[in-house]
């Protein structure tokens, strides 16, 4: 028993040392060793989004003194999972409308800032078709290949899918779905003939016009959607409130500068930011509810 005493004491001393070392290694959020992770999901050209994202976090670091890291998931589901992990592997995100509603349903995101484009905090989607395909109405899409952004894209699938259902099109049987991965990808797929029709935001065609000058003639709009709340910036509830408020204030300030506007436009074609919270999305939630769409069914 006497021999065990030094061993037991040594064990607790070692455990205490390891515990202290672990505590010492836990750096505060926003430090260089533990940066704030901002998830940017590419809605268009990935390189362009990443370049704009890096410019934004550089400006934000100068304004707040916090360190940031850019995370680029391939789709919105990845960004939501990053927010939902414990501890979060993303502390901020730029989610589209429906992805945010799912994240809010999971209680892993809180809206604070809404994007402003052309003076509006809402936007529209469009359903496009290749000219000469014979598609002139939604009913004509039956039996065709339809390109979407991804299953949780608001104007790249959710709202257009409701429109197709209203046109008596069975999404399981009447169309073949092609996941294009981005709004630009949808336009490109229709332009190349990989898809007969597709869904994207208004007007994603201009994003590929530089390399495809005839896109406006070869890809035509056959329908537009209702007004949809813009994307924006959301935060993990795990982020301290004072930190969140400081970042929100800094982003509103940055959005008024020439450098800031350039970064916002490069990443997501944002012209400005407006401080609007979760309730801004309530009218859209009501539309989804009326259409029988339950965001909870998308929550895993």
pLDDT single digits (tens) 156-178: 999 999 999 999 999 999 999 99
Closest by CA to 138, choosing from 158, 159, 166, is 166
115 pLDDT above the threshold of 90: yes
126 pLDDT above the threshold of 90: yes
Q: How confident is the model at residue 146 (pLDDT cuts 50, 70, 90)?
A: very high
4 pLDDT above the threshold of 60: no
Output the pLDDT for position 1: 45
- CA dist 215 and 189 (Å) reads 11
- CA dist 27 and 228 (Å) reads 40
- CA dist 189 and 66 (Å) reads 41
Domains and their CATH numbers in the chain:
36-121+229-298 (3.40.190.10), 125-225 (3.40.190.10)
87: preceding bond cis by omega (within 30 degrees): yes
pLDDT over 70, % of the chain: 90
Residue 127 contacts residue 199 (beta carbons within 8 Å): yes
Tens digit of each residue's pLDDT (9 = 90 or more) over 206-254: 999 999 999 999 999 999 998 999 999 999 999 999 999 999 999 999 9
Kindly give the pairing relationship between strand 145-148 and strand 228-229.
Answer: unpaired
Q: What is the dihedral of CA 175, 136, 42, 109, to 10 degrees?
A: -70
Name the pTM for this structure: 0.76
The residue ranges of DSSP E strands in 43-108, in sequence order, are: 68-71, 92-94
The arithmetic mean of pLDDT across residues 126-152, rounded, is 95
- CA dist 228 and 74 (Å) reads 22
The arithmetic mean of pLDDT across residues 116-142, rounded, is 95
Q: How confident is the model at residue 139 (pLDDT cuts 50, 70, 90)?
A: very high
Output the pLDDT for position 193: 96
Output the pLDDT for position 290: 80
């Amino acid at each position: 028993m006497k021999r065990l005493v030094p061993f037991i004491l040594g064990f607790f001393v070692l455990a205490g040392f390891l515990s202290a070392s672990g505590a010492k290694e836990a750096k505060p959020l926003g430090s260089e060793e533990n940066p704030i992770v901002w998830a940017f999901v590419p809605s268009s050209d990935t390189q362009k989004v990443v370049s704009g994202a890096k410019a934004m976090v550089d400006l934000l670091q100068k304004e707040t003194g916090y360190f940031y890291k850019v995370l680029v998931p391939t789709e919105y589901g990845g960004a939501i999972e990053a927010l939902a992990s414990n501890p979060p592997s993303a502390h901020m995100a730029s989610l589209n409308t429906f992805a945010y509603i799912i994240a809010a349903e999971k209680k892993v995101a809180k809206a604070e800032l809404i994007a402003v484009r052309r003076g509006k905090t809402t936007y529209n989607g469009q359903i496009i078709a290749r000219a000469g395909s014979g598609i002139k109405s939604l009913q004509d899409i039956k039996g065709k290949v339809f390109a979407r952004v991804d299953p949780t894209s608001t104007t790249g699938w959710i709202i257009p899918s409701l429109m197709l259902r209203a046109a008596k099109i069975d999404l399981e049987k009447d169309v073949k779905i092609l996941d294009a991965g981005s709004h630009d990808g949808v336009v490109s797929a229709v332009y190349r003939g990989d898809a007969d029709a597709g869904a994207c935001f208004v007007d994603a065609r201009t994003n590929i016009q530089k390399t495809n000058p005839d896109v406006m003639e070869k890809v035509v709009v056959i329908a537009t959607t209702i007004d949809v709340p813009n994307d924006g910036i959301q935060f993990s509830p795990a982020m301290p409130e004072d930190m969140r408020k400081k970042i929100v204030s800094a982003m509103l300030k940055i959005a008024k500068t020439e450098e800031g506007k350039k970064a916002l436009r490069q990443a997501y074609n944002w012209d400005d930011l407006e401080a609007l919270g979760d309730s801004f999305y309530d009218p859209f939630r009501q539309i989804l509810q009326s259409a029988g769409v339950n965001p909870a069914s998308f929550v895993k």
